Amino acid sequence: MGLAFPTRRTRKGSHQGIPSHQATMSTIARAYPMCGDAPPTTHSSIDDIRAILSGTCPHAVSAEVEEANKNSRSHVLAAKEEVGHPEIIHNATVPILVEAALQREKGSFLTETGALSVLSGAKTGRSPKDKRVVDEPNSTDNVWWGPVNIKMKMDAFMINRERAIDYINTRERIYVVDGYAGHDPRYRVAVRVICVRAYHALFMRNMLVDLTPEEAKAPFTPDLVIFNAGSFPANRYVEGMTSSCTVDLHLGRYSKRFGRTWAEMVILGTQYAGEMKKGILTLMMYKMPLMGQLCLHSSANEDPATGNVTVFFGLSGTGKTTLSADPRRHLIGDDEHVWTDTGVFNVEGGCYAKCIALSEATEPEIFRAIRFGAVVENVVYDPVSRKVDYDDISITENTRCAYPLEFIPNAKLPAVGKHPNHVILLTCDGFGVLPPVSRLTSAQVIYHFISGYTSKMAGTEQGITKPIAAFSACYGEPFLVWHPVKYATMLAEKLEQHNATAWLLNTGWIGGAKGRRCPLKYTRAIVDAIHSGELEKSPLATDEVFKLNYPTKCPGVPDEILNPSCSWANKAEYEATQAQLAMLFRRNFAKYQAMASAEVLAQGPDGEEIDLSTIDMNAVALG
């Protein structure tokens, strides 16, 4: 075991060999990879991990029974067995994790650029219907209970927790990653991930913020512990289980052994790594409002000359990642941020980008980030050249890549910025009736932020001629914990307090579902005009149905593009489609109207109810 393990990466990507450390613990002897420029992993760190993995004793026994158990023959024999003492690979470096994945995990290989390609098993995306939150006294009154946050009893959580720990303890080797969620030390959350796949460890190593060498020398005290036993199914007979998959979050469980409270996440029945990332976001969505700060499912970038910050909200496919990765601006982050009393910070230490149809020509920064240290999921490759075919979606359309933030040349580190100057709500309107860009009032921000409208793309599959509408509150409904109105109200207050402009940017269709998507060059021109201030100077026209005020002039964009009705050959068809979408907006917002003010409710589109028989309701997805 006299191996020399490399250190964790530094921000400059350098590595340095250090001597291995020979662990001497009870009946087992293991060597553990070290981290950073810190000394070898201390016994207390490993002891803490083993203590966490020792599970809980739910029922107290008498002193007489405890003494009898201690001296029983079965207890003596069990103590000699290795079960329950897996080798712990703690804060390993990239080479160690890549080697482990290639050697031990079926379907893993290196791409031609050096990235680790992996398979996530049967689940190639999140399972939102299997996400549960423990109903406990300290948080129950704060949680927006329902289909987004499914109530879970404490007993059911503890059974799943014990099942996950038992499975982890049967493995020969496990991986532990310590890091932070958040670049601002005042509000960051210390996260400890315990998992059985090197792929998951490398993924989280990329997505968490690294410990500094000084922090790595000190004891690590987690605020969140993730037990990822996704390779093992849930027990369907546990109360509340609806499948073999469950993703359970306890917002604050008190540990008698450690004498403190922390959050816990248990994953069973899914190996999709994104569950860990979004579980952390869900916890941040809960904790930050408690501290008076606003957590946002958004991207953000910064003007290097002025420091002006723009925040982009948007669901998948709206352009959130693409528009924030502007080579002329510094990238703060691509997905999760917190707006604090001093500015914004990125929750993550890396990026998790979609790979479908990825090319160097269209998204050069992301394409070039897929190199050694990055993880690509569920992609198809040439077996000889190892070149990835990003157009091949035979495994899943949700192909992904996770890489450290510093792999983007213009990334800002630490990933913090000033208060945003501009907030852009992104939508991809497949109906083709919303203006490409609209200036929003404070009340309109609340209405459209709560609505979280976009649509799946019409015309991408044979026979599909109608758009599929989707509404996701706050552009991140699956990750919300509080009621959407709370987040929206906090956002409006921030915008007013810091005099930031707000825009609704439509990256969707021109001329309806049978038309074409708005060219990216026009969308970028609109964003440039927002940044330069030119768009604020433009005269405005008003969409009488959706009550949106949209500019009639924008540098680099034809005037007729800015008015959606001009792109329709059949005006009657345009008005009918507009009325259909307006009705879907009204119906979706009905579930929030009890907590919304009259001013906010007035921002919704006008119109009469339409006979449902005239609409293909299979083409509508609410929430």
The catalytic site residues sit at 126, 278, 297, 316, 320-321, 335, 400
Backbone angles phi, psi at 424, to 5 degrees: -120, 120
CA–CA gap between residue 606 and residue 366 (Å, rounded): 41
- Sorted by sequence, the CB contacts under 8 Å of residue 613 that are 6+ apart come out as none
- Helix (H), strand (E), coil (C) string for 176-204: EEEEEECCCCCCCEEEEEEECCHHHHHHH
**R_g of the chain, CA atoms, integer Å:** 26
Backbone angles phi, psi at 209, to 5 degrees: -85, 130
- Sorted by sequence, the CB contacts under 8 Å of residue 78 that are 6+ apart come out as none
Cβ atoms of 448 and 440 within 8 Å: the answer is: yes
- Sorted by sequence, the CB contacts under 8 Å of residue 218 that are 6+ apart come out as none
Instruction: Give the CA distances from residue 611 to residues 60, 320, 547, 608, 614, in Å, rounded to whole numbers and listed in that order.
Output: 62, 35, 23, 10, 6
- For residue 132, the tally of other CB atoms under 10 A from its CB is 23
Of 200, 487, 203, which Cα lies nearest the Cα of 348?
203
Cis peptide bond upstream of 414, omega within 30: yes
In 326-435, beta strands by DSSP E = 330-333, 336-339, 344-346, 350-354, 375-377, 380-381, 388-389, 400-404, 416-417, 422-427
Virtual torsion, Cα 104, 105, 107, 109, nearest 10 deg: -60
What's the number of CA atoms in the CB half-sphere (13 Å) around residue 251? Answer: 28
The DSSP result for 251-288, as a single string, is: EEEEETTTTEEEEEEEEES---THHHHHHHHHHHHHHH
Cβ atoms of 162 and 66 within 8 Å: the answer is: no
